[in-house]
Amino acid sequence: MMTMLTGVGASSGTAQGTARLIHGPDEFTRFETGDVLVCRTTDPAWTPLLGMASAVVTETGGMLSHAAIVAREFGIPAVLGVRGALELLADGEPLAIDGAQGTVTLMDSE
């Protein structure tokens, strides 16, 4: 059974990657190229992570938020406004992101 979360599809495209839950700048060093950035929100300090990410998922924001604008600039999928993402997803889980549909799917790791 797959778990699917929904939000605002703010940058189109699809990607798969490992969920990396980042709560603040002190955790940036945990992030690796190709990870899916999962966070509450972003601001300009987060831009380097978005440049490394395969996709971004935030708990807040919409089409005009920092995460949406930068994701579109970098050409990566973004699903924003996913309530409870930091509690519902676990660090290291494999995710599939659809930025057009606004879905975050937990993939089977088998």
Write down the pTM of the prediction.
0.95
- Which residue has 């495209």 as its token pair? 13
> Per residue in 51-107, pLDDT tens?
999 999 999 999 999 999 999 999 999 999 999 999 999 999 999 999 999 999 998
CATH number, position 59: 3.50.30.10
Residue 58: give the domain boundaries. Answer: 3-106
Amino acid identity of 29?
Answer: T
Cα–Cα nearest to 17, from 110, 84, 107:
107
pLDDT at position 109 is: 58
For residues 23-28, give the mean pLDDT.
Answer: 96
Count of domains for the chain: 1
At residue 1 the predicted structure's pLDDT band, cuts being 50, 70 and 90, is very low
89 Cβ contact list (under 8 Å, min separation 6): 5, 19, 21, 38, 57, 95, 104, 106
Q: How confident is the model at residue 3 (pLDDT cuts 50, 70, 90)?
A: confident
* Arithmetic mean of pLDDT, 24-36: 97
Mean pLDDT score, 33-60: 97
Active site members: 66
